[in-house]
């Protein structure tokens, strides 16, 4: 398996960071929208923020081991 460039592997982790931020921001925006429609301020925003964070952390837990195992496989092939 050919070794991927360093910038490519850094890009994967950067994309994961943007995904984390987008999930959190999406939850906040959805909660804020629900607050304005239902008049439940600030509960919708708080629940949306927590939901976005939980979803983002879940995604990190799922993806990081996969990225780490690929990296270990590449390191083992190098030696």
Domain extent listing, the chain: 15-73
pLDDT tens digit sequence for 43-67: 999 999 999 999 999 999 999 998 8
Cα separation, 52 vs 56, whole angstroms: 6
pLDDT tens digit sequence for 13-42: 999 999 999 999 999 999 999 999 999 999
Let me know: does 45 contact 21? Beta carbons within 8 Å: no
- CA torsion 54→57→62→65, rounded to 10°? -160
């Amino acid at each position: 398996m050919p070794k991927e460039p360093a910038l490519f592997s850094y890009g994967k982790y950067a994309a994961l960071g943007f995904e984390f931020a987008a999930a959190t921001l999406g939850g906040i925006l959805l909660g804020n929208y629900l607050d304005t429609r239902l008049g439940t301020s600030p509960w919708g925003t708080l629940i949306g923020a927590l939901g976005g964070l939980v979803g983002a952390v879940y995604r990190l837990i799922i993806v990081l081991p996969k990225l780490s195992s690929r990296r270990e496989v590449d390191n083992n092939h190098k030696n």
